[in-house]
């Protein structure tokens, strides 16, 4: 199986020994604590899960700026986005070396992790501007990732962490949330060596389903990992439980048994386009995948990125050998009226726009809200039924 990023073996930061974990939780009761941001909590979950291997905790100012500027930490590790714990003030923790990090997303703010604080530094306005420009390619405050990144403060707490639970992800999505090391174990049990990963924050329509098949066939893969984001999204995006139900229905009905793993990870969407695509590649390598499908508008939002910028970055900015995972570059996929099947548009140069069944996201939402299923060439009827029920429930 493919090696993790940066190390020979995966080193998740979740304290797996129950006795040790109990001791850390008892220690946390006596430590000064802070309620961290949702983004920092998601970073902790990803560190605990092994997805952010080989990081041992939150980055300091120098590493954050190095990663933003040239995708390298000060010690040379390739990494695409800063992984930070940023706060607005340090009241009650100044001079303290160990602090408890409390979860902002659960009632009562239970302890999520313990951090050994190696440094407390402050990003300057210029630092924030540089990181925002480099990671998001825009400083527009209307960009949801930019708004979130710049809203949590400028004081950065760096240092290693011990992760003590997986926030709400494990309880709310027990059938779907999986750590990187759990995914590796499942793949090993299935005997999979060559695995194609598909990233999604949306339900999967027929074109997505067929794209997975195309990639799997093209690389002669052993299996497909459908890996959905379970964390915080922008307003208007479909909730994780609805997406989960849609994807599971599709896989159950239309894929052979033991060819697809339906899983999810605990992270808040950045909407950072190309840089987030590279992050997706890093943590899919950590999960044991050999290939990642990168398609049109991967991890993007609005018109901030070109349709294939998330592919270009791997060719032009990711140094050779920085990652072992390979990228499967996908074009826009749609149903061909001429051929009676889903195709990649680049593969049918003789087609015109009218030869495809194309529906905008707005058009699809309108149809579903009216209780009208999109055509079967666009969406599986069983998936459309789940989405119709969701959209109609939001109107009640």
Last residue of a domain, one of 170, 203, 223: 170
Q: Assign 1 a pLDDT band (cuts: 50, 70, 90).
A: confident
Q: What is the pLDDT of residues 282-300, one digit of tens each?
A: 999 999 999 999 999 999 9
What pLDDT, on a 0 to 100 scale, did the predictor assign at position 302?
93
Let me know if residue 12 belongs to a domain.
Answer: no
Helix, strand, or coil here: 212?
A: helix
Asked whether residue 89 falls in the same domain as residue 130, the answer is yes
Residue 11 domain-assigned (yes or no): no
- Same domain (yes/no): 237, 92: no
Count of beta carbons in the 10 Å neighbourhood of residue 201: 17
* Residue at 156 is within a domain: yes
Q: Residue 376 falls within a domain, yes or no?
A: yes
Interval 36-94: pLDDT, tens: 999 999 999 999 999 999 999 999 999 999 999 999 999 999 999 999 999 999 998 98
Q: State the average pLDDT over residues 148-165.
A: 97
Catalytic residues: 201-202
| pLDDT tens-digit series, residues 198-255 | 999 999 999 999 999 999 999 999 999 999 999 877 777 888 999 999 999 999 999 9
Query: Above pLDDT 70, what percent of the chain?
Result: 100
Is 282 part of a structural domain of the chain?
yes
Print the domain residue range for 355.
175-393
Same domain, 304 and 236: yes
Same-domain status, 384 and 336: yes
Q: Does pLDDT of 359 surpass 80? A: yes
Same domain, yes or no: 135 and 152? yes
Same domain, residue pair 148 and 223: no
Q: Do residues 258 and 220 both lie within one domain?
A: yes
**What's the pLDDT at 361?**
83
pLDDT of residue 308: 97
CATH label of the domain that carries residue 209: 3.40.50.620
Starting at the earlier edge strand, list the strands of the sheet with 333-336. 341-344, 333-336, 356-357
In the chain, the number of structural domains is: 2
The pLDDT of 23-43, averaged and rounded, is 97
10 falls within a domain: no
Q: Do 122 and 182 belong together in one domain?
A: no
Checking DSSP bridges between strand 155-163 and strand 86-87, what pairing results, if any? Answer: antiparallel
Torsion, Cα of 56, 60, 62, 64 (10° steps): 80
What confidence tens digit (pLDDT) does each residue in 302-341 have? 999 999 999 999 999 999 999 999 999 999 999 999 999 9
- Going along the chain, which residue ranges are E strands? 33-35, 57-58, 86-87, 98-102, 111-116, 119-122, 155-163, 195-200, 223-229, 260-265, 291-294, 326-329, 333-336, 341-344, 356-357
Residues whose CB falls within 8 Å of the CB of residue 189, separated by 6 or more in sequence, listed in order:
none
3 within a domain of the structure (yes/no): no
193 within a domain of the structure (yes/no): yes
Using CA atoms, how far apart are residues 230 and 291, in angstroms rounded to an integer? Answer: 21
- Is the previous residue joined to 207 through a cis bond, with omega within 30 degrees of 0? no
Cβ atoms within 10 Å of 348's Cβ, excluding its own: 16
Residue of 96, 142, 140 whose CA lies nearest to 117:
96
Task: Identify whether the C-beta of residue 98 lies closer than 8 Å to the C-beta of residue 161.
Answer: no
pLDDT digits (tens, 9 = 90+) for 91-127: 989 899 999 999 999 999 999 999 999 999 999 999 9
Which of 170, 186, 220 finishes a domain? 170
Q: In whole angstroms, what is the distance from residue 352 CA to residue 356 CA?
A: 8
Of 176, 173, 232, give the one whose Cα is nearest residue 40.
Answer: 232
Same domain (yes/no): 143, 218:
no
**CATH number of the domain encompassing residue 61:** 3.10.400.10
User: Is the pLDDT confidence value at 396 over 70?
Assistant: no
Strands 341-344, 333-336: parallel, antiparallel or unpaired by DSSP?
antiparallel
């Amino acid at each position: 199986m493919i090696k993790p990023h940066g190390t020979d073996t995966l080193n998740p930061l979740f304290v797996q020994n129950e006795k040790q974990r109990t001791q850390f939780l008892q220690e946390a009761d006596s430590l000064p604590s802070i309620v961290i941001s949702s983004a920092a909590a998601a970073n902790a979950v990803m560190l605990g899960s092994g997805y952010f291997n080989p990081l041992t905790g939150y980055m300091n100012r120098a590493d954050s700026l190095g990663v933003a500027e040239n995708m390298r930490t000060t010690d040379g590790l390739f990494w695409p986005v800063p992984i930070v714990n940023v706060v607005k003030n340090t009241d009650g923790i100044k001079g303290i070396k160990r602090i408890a990090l409390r979860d902002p997303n659960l009632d009562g703010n239970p302890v999520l992790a313990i951090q050994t604080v190696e440094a407390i530094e402050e990003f300057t306005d210029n630092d924030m501007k540089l990181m925002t420009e480099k990671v998001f390619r825009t400083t527009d405050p209307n960009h949801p990732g930019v708004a979130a990144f710049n809203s949590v403060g400028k004081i950065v707490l760096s240092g290693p962490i011990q992760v003590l639970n997986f926030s709400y992800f494990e309880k709310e999505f027990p059938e779907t949330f999986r750590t990187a090391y759990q995914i590796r174990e499942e793949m090993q049990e299935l005997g999979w060596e060559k695995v194609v990963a598909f990233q999604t924050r949306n339900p999967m329509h027929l074109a997505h389903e067929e794209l997975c098949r195309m990639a799997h066939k093209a690389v002669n893969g052993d299996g497909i990992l459908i890996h959905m984001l379970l964390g915080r999204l922008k307003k208007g995006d479909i909730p994780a439980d609805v997406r989960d139900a849609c994807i599971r229905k599709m896989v159950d009905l239309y894929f052979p048994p033991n060819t697809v793993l339906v899983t999810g990870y605990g992270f808040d969407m950045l909407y950072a386009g190309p840089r987030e695509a590279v992050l997706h590649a890093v943590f899919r390598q950590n999960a044991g995948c050999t290939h990642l499908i990168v398609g049109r508008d991967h991890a993007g939002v609005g018109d901030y990125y070109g349709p294939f910028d998330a592919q270009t970055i791997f060719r032009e900015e990711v140094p050779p050998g920085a990652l072992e995972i390979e990228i499967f570059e996908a074009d826009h996929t749609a149903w061909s009226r001429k051929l009676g099947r889903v195709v990649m548009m680049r593969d049918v140069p003789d087609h015109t726009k009218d030869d495809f069944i194309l529906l905008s996201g707005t058009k699809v939402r309108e149809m579903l809200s009216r209780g009208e299923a999109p055509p079967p060439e666009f969406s599986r009827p069983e998936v459309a039924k789940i989405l119709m029920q969701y959209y109609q429930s939001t109107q009640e």
